Amino acid sequence: MDYKGKSAKTGVAIGKLHIYHKNENMVKREHVEDTDSEVKRYEDAKATALSQLKGLYDKAMKEVGEANAAIFDVHQMLLEDLDFNESIKNIIVSQKVNAEYAVATTGDNFSQMFAAMDDEYMQARSADIKDISNRVVSVLQGVEEAKMTGDEPSILLADDLAPSETVQLDKSQVLSFVTHGGSTNSHTAILARTMNIPALIGVDFPEDCDGKFGIVDGYEGKLIIEPTEEEIKKYEELKKKDEEKERLLQELRGKENVTKKGTKINLYANIGGVKDVASVLQNDAGGIGLFRSEFLYLESDTYPTEEEQFNAYKTVAEMMAGKKVIIRTLDIGADKQVDYFNLAKEENPALGYRAIRICLDRVDVFKTQLRAIFRASSFGKISVMYPMIISVDEVKKIKEIVAEVKAELDEQGVPYGDVEQGIMVETPAAVLMSEELAKEVDFFSIGTNDLTQYTLAADRQNAALESMIDTHHPAVLRAIEMTIKNGHKGGAWVGICGELGADTSLTEKFIEMGVDELSVTPSRILHVREAIRNANV
């Protein structure tokens, strides 16, 4: 029997099905006289929950990198939220009730409040609030976490999986996961791709399939329960082909990124932090085309110091041993919120106060980061690029601030290297002004994720608009082609660092357009190298 869904990660999985049922935290309202002791019970449970979240963060850092571990920092911040905590304690004291009831009630109230907001980012926090409140209630009740997998490697089925649940997956015991809910842009879908586990979302599987044999077809987006011998044979052959393809890809390590007609392309990797460099080196990338520096801010309770940033950038530069490292300056706002920046709530944050707009307004924060980047540049080949640019005036203001930073470093006798400066082209305005902008910078890096949403006027975080996020839309491809052409005309080299850069169905087209560099997630390096070497351009 076939059950259709949507693929969050391609591939084939064959094995027994295991349905994961969350622990049902049945909470009863109980009267208590000693409210001080009950508040203490809550504080102890909260401390335990925070310790668990720290453990999950550390585990995620090791397995899936800083970018994907960041959600557990968000959970810790939510659990420490003053309003959330005051609500729980107030319910305990004023209503003289047990901590479990106070936590569950506050969790429901806050979750509903977030879900009702217009802001997509804040709506997404609704599920996170449920996750942390369930965690605290479980600790209070002394309930162990539900078993994620069976006794043998299996295909995991669930209504939905919270990030904290997904990261606990023992990869040696999980062949794939299939969920009723979720979206291809959810934290869990991104984690699945990073963990290289085939995954389906939106599958209406039956509850009586636990223990049955099944197949996940991540290419056509379907779950097959109790397949025929013929289907098993067919998918075993497809799985073998996938494994052989991966083996053959390893033979491309050390090979040049050159087309059949001799066109060379720089192939770099995108990272979220220092720990991701191991994957960059393992997959034989030629450099780092996008270092998302905002994760230094997302993972901190306060503004990271110049020294903290300098050490991170210096470490990456040294590890890359002379290969190019392009650091994107702070890109927060929209779906990436940092509490201590105290950013006001916005009706449409994707079009709001974010990225370079914050940096040009909070020059002290910007200069601290620039000083750290320029100082680190004497330890390797570092370049810097600025996100969310819409005008030449912005670039000129940035260059004035950079000149001030360099003058300060010169005065202090602090060495720095020859730092290339570039911009992210991710707005239609930057595309239309690309010839003029190219005369002001050394390079462009096209951020196709934001460029797609702004060109198509479709919020990429909105699951209801997922079908409209057409990355192959002619308007998007024309914008990319125009940027490459105008960039070269103005004297800048041009790369692509958005997810579209890893789309091998477009690799040859991008090369035909004249792209100089592609920067992709480390696990896609060899796939894109193969596409480059097979391109007949």
Q: Which residues are catalytic?
A: 187, 497
Q: Which two tokens stand for residue 336?
A: 């990436």
> Cα 124–101–180 angle (5° rounding)?
35
* Terminal CA-CA length for the chain: 45
Reported as type and span, the H/E element at residue 305 is none
State the amino acid at position 73 in one-letter form.
D
Measured between alpha carbons, how far is 66 from 467 in angstroms, rounded to an integer?
29
C-beta of residue 386 within 8 angstroms of C-beta of residue 356? yes
C-beta of residue 53 within 8 angstroms of C-beta of residue 315? no
Least Cα distance to 492 among 426, 441, 448 occurs for: 441
Cα 149 → chain centroid: 25
Measured between alpha carbons, how far is 389 from 395 in angstroms, rounded to an integer?
8
Measured between alpha carbons, how far is 360 from 367 in angstroms, rounded to an integer?
10
Measured between alpha carbons, how far is 305 from 312 in angstroms, rounded to an integer?
11
State how far the alpha carbon of 39 is from the alpha carbons of 34, 43, 85, in Å.
9, 6, 10
Measured between alpha carbons, how far is 5 from 19 in angstroms, rounded to an integer?
17
C-beta of residue 103 within 8 angstroms of C-beta of residue 140? yes
Q: How many helices (H) and strands (E) does the chain have?
A: 19, 16
Measured between alpha carbons, how far is 373 from 390 in angstroms, rounded to an integer?
23
Residues in the chain: 537
β-strands 213-217, 222-225 pairing: antiparallel
Measured between alpha carbons, how far is 406 from 312 in angstroms, rounded to an integer?
20
Q: Which two tokens stand for residue 28?
A: 């009863």
Q: Which two tokens stand for residue 386?
A: 């600025």
State the amino acid at position 32 in one-letter form.
V
DSSP-based three-state secondary structure for 114: helix
For residue 357, which phi and psi values (nearest 5 degrees)? -65, -40
Least Cα distance to 15 among 176, 254, 209 occurs for: 176
- What is the torsion angle, in degrees rounded to the nearest 10, for the CA atoms of residue 407, residue 393, residue 354 and residue 188? -90
DSSP-based three-state secondary structure for 440: coil
State how far the alpha carbon of 45 is from the alpha carbons of 37, 39, 76, 311, in Å.
12, 10, 13, 35
